[in-house]
């Protein structure tokens, strides 16, 4: 259990999905990582890997959809996000020195739950940065049977030329001890407090956008500021490595919004084009947050997920 400065429950007013447990594990490098587990279904267990600046409670509706379909669900707050341990206790920076740190978080949570997860097939669900972390996890070898990616961060929506200029500058700053300096990235978790709905690039659902904003006002500990230079260099290093690696040898469904401006759609389509067991679905009229989009878009997304998972689970040796 975590020390007294950490509490797995958010402040009163944040919606909590009933029937699950929220707790902490401590990693081998002594970080406290929060997770949620809903032991609700016999079909399979879905491992939800959120994106940058996200937190477990944001996925209440997604978890509910899966549990209503007879799936159990695990969800995680990455180090430095949500109510997991923050670097220097700060919510204003997103920071790691190496993207492998996220693998440590994921492995530790799954090892603690191993006995409860083992009887059922495992399905990985990765959104945005979670799609990057999830891809690495699959490529390292795992017992996951299939994967769903949502707007996965497999490339940045900037030119290679821009990256070639910025990364050496960032590395120089890091070498001078300035790795905790931040950069104005497209998605800063606190931006939505002041950014008008009409100018957002996440969702066309005004009600959900307002709920995201209210959650940060109720409990600012759930927010996340800009990424540090160290985080951006670590991400770039990881993306370059992943781009050279073969696809995981499991069925994959990748969903991407037609108007996603947060991640590189070209990187997604390029990878999926060389993924023999991959299925790609572009969601018409959708921004980055396809699971928090308009009702019509959500219905389209869940129909695709149901078709994909039903087909995979029929082939599963445990079914």
pLDDT of residue 1: 43
Which pLDDT score, from 0 to 100, does residue 318 have? 53
Confidence check: pLDDT of 293 > 60: yes
* CA–CA dist 96, 59 (Å, integer): 23
Q: Torsion over CA of 51, 209, 221 and 103, rounded to 10 degrees? A: -10
Q: Give me the mean pLDDT over the 133-155 stretch.
A: 96
Place of tokens 């996965």: 152
Q: What are the structural domain ranges in the chain?
A: 21-314
Residue 319 has pLDDT above 70, yes or no: no
* Cα gap 145→251, rounded to integer Å: 7
Q: What radius of gyration, in Å, describes the C-alpha atoms of the chain?
A: 18
Angle at 267 between CA 261 and CA 271, to 5 degrees: 140
With contact defined as beta carbons under 8 Å apart, do 132 and 152 qualify? yes
Instruction: Give the pLDDT confidence of 33-90 residue by residue, as tens digits.
Output: 999 999 989 999 999 999 999 999 999 999 999 999 999 999 999 999 999 999 988 9
What's the farthest any 2 CA atoms get from each other in the chain?
56
Q: What's the confidence (pLDDT) of residue 316?
A: 65
The answer to whether residue 124 scores a pLDDT higher than 90 is yes
Which top CATH class is 21-314? alpha beta
Give Cα 232 to chain centroid, integer Å.
16
* pTM of the predicted protein model: 0.95
pLDDT-derived band of residue 120, with 50, 70 and 90 as boundaries?
Answer: very high
| 248-268 residues labelled b (16+ CB within 10 A) or e (exposed) | bebbbbbbbbeebebbbbebb
Q: Is the pLDDT of residue 2 over 80?
A: no
Residues 226-243 as b or e (16 or more Cβ within 10 Å = b): bbbbbbbbbbbebbeebe
pLDDT class for 315, splitting at 50, 70, 90? confident
Angle at 225 between CA 222 and CA 231, to 5 degrees: 115
Average pLDDT estimate for 203-214:
96
pLDDT for residue 303 is more than 60: yes
Residue 5 has pLDDT above 60, yes or no: yes
Average pLDDT, the chain: 94
Using a 10 angstrom Cβ sphere, with 0-12 exposed, 13-18 middle and 19 or more buried, the burial of residue 117 is buried
146-196 tens-digit pLDDT: 999 999 999 998 888 999 999 999 999 999 999 999 988 766 678 899 899
């Amino acid at each position: 259990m975590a020390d007294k400065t950490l509490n797995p429950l958010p402040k009163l007013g944040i919606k909590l999905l009933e029937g699950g447990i929220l707790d902490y594990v401590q990693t081998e490098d002594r970080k406290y990582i929060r997770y949620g587990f809903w032991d609700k279904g016999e079909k399979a267990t879905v491992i939800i890997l959120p994106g940058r600046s996200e937190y477990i409670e944001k996925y209440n509706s997604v978890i509910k959809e899966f549990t209503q379909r007879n799936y159990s669900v695990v969800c995680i707050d990455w180090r430095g996000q949500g109510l997991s341990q923050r670097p220097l206790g700060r919510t204003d920076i997103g920071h790691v020195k190496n993207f492998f740190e996220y693998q440590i978080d994921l492995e530790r949570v799954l090892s603690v739950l191993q006995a409860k997860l083992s009887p059922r097939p495992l399905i990985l669900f990765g959104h945005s940065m979670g799609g990057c972390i999830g891809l690495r996890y699959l490529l390292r070898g795992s017992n996951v049977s299939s994967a769903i990616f949502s707007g996965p961060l497999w490339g940045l929506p900037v030119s290679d030329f821009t990256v070639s200029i910025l990364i050496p500058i960032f590395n120089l700053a890091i070498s001078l001890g300035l790795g905790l300096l931040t950069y104005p990235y497209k998605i800063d978790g606190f931006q939505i407090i002041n950014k008008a709905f009409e100018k957002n690039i996440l969702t066309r659902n005004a009600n959900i956008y307002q709920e995201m904003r209210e959650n940060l006002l109720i409990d600012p500990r759930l927010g996340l500021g800009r990424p540090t230079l160290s985080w951006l260099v670590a991400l770039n290093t990881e993306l370059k490595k992943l781009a050279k690696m073969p696809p995981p040898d499991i069925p994959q469904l990748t969903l991407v919004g037609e108007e996603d401006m947060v991640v590189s759609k070209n990187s997604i389509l390029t990878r999926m084009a060389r993924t023999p067991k991959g299925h790609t679905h572009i969601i018409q009229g959708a921004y980055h947050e396809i699971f928090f989009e308009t009702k019509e878009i959500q219905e389209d997304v869940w129909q695709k997920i149901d078709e994909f998972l039903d087909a995979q689970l029929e082939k599963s040796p445990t079914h």
